[in-house]
Chain A
Amino acid sequence: MSDNNNVHISSYKEHFSTWAALILLTFMTVAVSVFGAELRTLSVATAMIIATVKATAVGYYFMHIKYDPKIYKWMMGTVLALFTFFMIMLTIDYLTR
């Protein structure tokens, strides 16, 4: 029905900035892990938070979700909500055995 007309085109600059941010976050997470090893749990939490920030950046800018119709955000949100629920229930089960 429709060709890819009249859509938002992401700029090279935006892709480059996203890349720079991702590289920066990668070095941050490696640094925390290598030099902050004694932090243990905290370092795992930091690593996961940084990974999530990175994943959001990839999804939002590289995968274009930011400029897509709302439905894509809703669908992605549903998938993530389901997965989070799986994690919560499994954690409850294994922590209360």
Chain B
Amino acid sequence: MTVDALPYTDFYKAKKGIWSWLFTLDHKRIALLYLYAIISFFLVGATLGILMRLELFQPGKDIIEPQTYNQIFTLHGVIMIFLFIIPSIPAIFGNFLLPLILGTDDVAFPKLNLLSFYLYVLGALFALSTLIFGDGPADTGWTFYAPYSVKTGTNVTMSVLAAFILGFSSILTGLNFIVTIHRLRTPGMGFNQMPLFSWALYATSWIQVLATPVIGITLLMIVAERVFGIGLFDPSIGGDPILYQHLFWIYSHPAVYIMALPAMGVVSEIIPTFAQRTIFGYKAIAYSSMAIAFIGYFVWGHHMFTSGMSGPAAIIFSILTFLVAIPTSIKVFNWLATLYKGSIVIDTPLLYALAFIFNFLIGGLTGLLLGALAADVHVHDTYFVVGHFHYVMFGGTGFAFFGALHYWFPKIWGRMYNKKVANTAFAIFLIGFNILYFPMLILGIMGMPRRYYDYLPEFTSLNQISTVGSWITVTGIILMLINLIVAARKGEKAPDNPWNGITLEWQTKSPPPLENFDKMPQIPEGGPYNFPNAYKHKH
């Protein structure tokens, strides 16, 4: 592992001054701007989550008022969904790595990319402005269900506009990635020679482009409703509040796959690299991403089983929901088959990838229970649902996000973190995470409803375990972040290809020069994951 001694100018040093960052068109710098913004919002959202757990430490009032509690869980949801998890992997790692793994120097529309970032900033400012202006942040939950979102005195309008603007940021990122993937692949790289991360981003981008407009227009209807005092979902003029739920979930269910698919893409990159083995079932993994994106549009109704939707519609949605499990499990089986007989190197990124599979499995299987119409009616809107989606979003996407951070860290900063500390932080994080959320699944089965400020005494002990889990989780996350921050500043120099990966990003310098490649990248022969030592196993 020798460091390439040839002098070159990396993208950090290529241009100087604050303006070179704020008006940069370089996809790597834009990715880093996103990174700093998104991690900050993650920490804000996590703090709100800790506050909620503290309040729920015992029944009755502990630290905050009921109204404040409602506003906190709404803000927690809005920040974590719209400001953290939806943009997390696509906007940070997609931006940084998509051009690198495709062997090009930028996305197709660099200026549009910068515009996306500023729309993100604007949306974030709108969301945070509710803390200061109006009558405080919305207290509706992140779903803004009508008619309550129209009647409440809190500042729903600003929160809804924030989600609207963030939606446009997301659309433009998706549009940019689709065109990049179609037009800018390195010569000789067909769709079926692309790394799986770009397949995942491709599927994600299509959801961003085709689902987000529906929520955009729906949220505008809510704004109009608040401005005129009467609205399209108001039964007194012949409207129907359930129609709002339909339109909301037509976007927000596919949005779940905006969160999950990139994470699966990250795992599909990490696993072959650390098994030093060709991915098992390349096409199955690639096409199942597209299948998930496609089927994801057909299942939104499973969020509304108890809303008053008709029985036949609910049955159809329930059946369709089970179809999504097929491509998802295809991926899991292929990942495990890749590990089988691989030359596995256990390193921090692989640990995160494995934790993703473990947590996602719990999240996915509880999801099947929720997708079953008869079972869902009993656990709908209980802590079971809260546990389920935290396992999928945080345990799945969150772990994949931090896995990606550890995997590409040496490429982004050109330095290596302390692996011992990273592994310790990982262990604390994983254990804390499960202590935090597993009790919620049990609480849900016992019948504790979600979004409640207070609860019956019999739920106390499980709630206390969960709150203790939140402290452990935060310890793990803080340790991890400190380790990474120290490494980015003072870590030892990393080689260009520390993990012996063979996708194109490992062929350039760490950190990459401004134009990414100073010579033509060579696509590996026989497929993107055709590791040389995989051949050794065969012969």
Q: Which residues of A contact B (CB under 8 A)?
A: 1, 78-79, 82, 85-86, 89-90, 92-97
Contact = CB atoms under 8 A, between A and B. Distances in A.
Interface in B97-138: none
B153 interface: no
User: Which of B183, B301, B313, B317 counts the most chain A CB atoms within 10 A?
Assistant: B313
Nearest to A85: B298
B535 to A, nearest CB: 35
A96 B311 contact: yes
Give the one of A85, A86, A89 with max B CB within 10 A: A89
Dominant secondary structure at the A interface: helix
B310 A93 contact: yes
B297 A96 contact: no
In the complex, the 8 A-B pairs of residues with the closest C-beta atoms, listed nearest first: A93-B313, A96-B310, A96-B312, A97-B310, A92-B313, A93-B310, A93-B309, A82-B297
Contacts of A1: 183
Q: Give the bracket for the number of chain B residues in contact with chain A.
A: 10 to 19
Contacts of B317: 89
Contacts of A78: 210
A96 B210 contact: no
A8 B313 CA distance: 46
A89 B297 contact: no
Interface string B298-322: 1001000000111111001100000
A82 B310 contact: no
Interface string B224-257: 0000000000000000000100100010000000
Nearest to B206: A78
Given A85-B298, A89-B313, 15 more contacts: A82-B210, A82-B297, A86-B250, A89-B301, A89-B316, A89-B317, A90-B246, A92-B310, A92-B316, A93-B310, A93-B313, A94-B310, A96-B311, A97-B309, A97-B310
Contact of A85 (B243, B297, B308, B312): B297
B312 A92 contact: yes
A78, A82, A92, A93 pick with most chain B CB within 10 angstroms: A93
A86 B316 CA distance: 13
B323 to A, nearest CB: 13
A90 B316 CA distance: 12
Contacts of A86: 250
A95 B311 CA distance: 11
A7 B413 CA distance: 45
A47 B225 CA distance: 30
A78 B297 CA distance: 11
A95 B246 CA distance: 15
Contact of A96 (B183, B250, B308, B313): B313
Contacts of A85: 297-298
A28 B74 CA distance: 52
A89 B312 CA distance: 10
A2 to B, nearest CB: 10
Nearest to B312: A96
A78 B206 CA distance: 11
A7 B479 CA distance: 58
Contacts of B297: 82, 85
A58 to B, nearest CB: 20
Contacts of B311: 96
Contacts of B210: 78-79, 82
Nearest to A90: B246
Nearest to B211: A82
A96 B246 CA distance: 15
Nearest to B184: A1
Interface in B273-327: 297-298, 301, 308-313, 316-317
A95 B250 CA distance: 19
Contacts of B308: 97
Nearest to A97: B310
Contacts of A94: 310
Given A79-B210, A82-B210, A93 B246 contact: yes
Nearest to A93: B313
Contacts of A90: 243, 246
B107 to A, nearest CB: 14
A40 B313 CA distance: 28
Contacts of A92: 310, 312-313, 316
A80 B312 CA distance: 24
B317 to A, nearest CB: 8
A96 to B, nearest CB: 4
